[in-house]
């Protein structure tokens, strides 16, 4: 049972680690357009992201697919930028007007990309362990718990700013997404350098 908590905590801490905040940035822009009243959609998006990155974890750890970490780091930054830009262009729309199919597909695809990033960390931790199936599931569950925590915190900040500070939903989305863009652009520039 202690091994479960070991890998669960590793997954939890990997997402919540401020030194690896790229996954947090993605979740911020993914959830920024929603409120507590849309918790089902938020949970669906987080779960789809979870399923995408879990598939990628298995594909990478079992060496079915191998992608260079340089490409993964670049693509993670691109997914964050694309999601933030999507928010800017759709900030005026109501939550129910957002195309659910497009959101679910892109979230699942972006989950795959982030999953390859998670797998690099998992492979370092698991090392040459004979059976990786259960530790991989435990690690993935820790990541899912962290995703839900981050989504809840973003919804909470959204609620506070929109209800107590009277920030409009549109302004909340634009400011939050713009801040994330400001943070991710230098990271994106840094990750493009090896390809130039």
Task: Report pLDDT digits (tens) over 38-59.
Answer: 999 999 999 999 999 999 999 9
- pTM (2 d.p.): 0.92
Task: Please state, in angstroms and rounded to a whole number, the distance separating the CA atoms of residues 12 and 1.
Answer: 17
Distance between CA atoms of residues 41 and 183, nearest Å: 26
- 63 has a pLDDT exceeding 80: yes
Structure tokens at 106: 């892109």
From 39-43, 128-132, 138-142, 177-181, the region with the lowest mean pLDDT: 128-132
pLDDT the model gives residue 103: 81
The predicted structure's pLDDT at residue 131: 82
Q: Residue 96: is its pLDDT beyond 70?
A: no
Share of the chain above pLDDT 90, in %: 70
Please return the burial class of 8, using the count of CB atoms within 10 Å of its CB with bins 0-12, 13-18 and 19+. buried
What does the pLDDT look like over 103-133, one tens digit per residue? 888 899 999 999 998 888 888 887 777 788 9
Length reported for the chain = 196
Q: What per-residue confidence (pLDDT) applies to 124?
A: 84
Contact 180, 24 (CB under 8 A): no
Structural domain harbouring 27 = 2-195
CA 185, CA 78: separation in Å to the nearest integer? 9
CB atoms < 10 A from the CB of 5, how many? 12
- Reference 129, options 10, 46, 19; nearest CA is 10
Q: What pLDDT does residue 98 have?
A: 67
Q: Which two tokens stand for residue 11?
A: 């997954």
Domain count, the chain: 1
> Distance between alpha carbon 94 and the CA centroid of its chain, in Å?
22
For CA atoms 52, 29, 14, 124, give the dihedral sign: positive
- Give me the pLDDT at residue 93, please: 83
Please, how many CA atoms are within 13 Å of residue 82, restricted to the half-sphere of its CB? Answer: 12
Q: What is the pLDDT of residue 140?
A: 92
Q: Is the pLDDT of residue 1 over 60?
A: no
DSSP 99: -
Question: Taking 60 as the threshold, does the pLDDT of residue 101 lie above it?
Answer: yes
**What local confidence, expressed as pLDDT, does residue 125 receive?**
82
């Amino acid at each position: 049972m202690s091994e479960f908590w070991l890998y669960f905590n590793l997954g939890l801490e990997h997402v919540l680690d401020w030194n690896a905040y790229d996954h947090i940035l993605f979740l911020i822009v993914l959830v920024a357009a929603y409120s507590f009243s849309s918790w089902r959609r938020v949970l669906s998006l987080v779960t789809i992201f979870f399923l995408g990155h879990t598939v990628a974890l298995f594909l990478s750890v079992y060496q079915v697919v191998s992608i260079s970490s340089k490409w993964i780091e670049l693509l993670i930054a691109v997914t964050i930028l694309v999601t933030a830009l999507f928010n800017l262009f759709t900030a005026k729309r109501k939550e129910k007007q957002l195309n659910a199919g497009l959101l679910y597909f892109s979230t699942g695809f972006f989950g795959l990309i982030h999953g390859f990033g998670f797998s690099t960390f998992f492979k370092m931790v698991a090392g040459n362990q004979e059976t990786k199936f259960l530790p991989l599931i435990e690690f993935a569950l820790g990541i899912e718990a962290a995703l839900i925590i981050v989504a809840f915190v973003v919804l909470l900040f959204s609620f506070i700013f929109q209800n107590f500070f009277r920030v409009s939903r549109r302004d909340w989305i634009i400011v939050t997404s713009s801040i994330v863009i400001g943070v991710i652009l230098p990271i994106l520039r840094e990750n493009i350098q090896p390809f130039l």
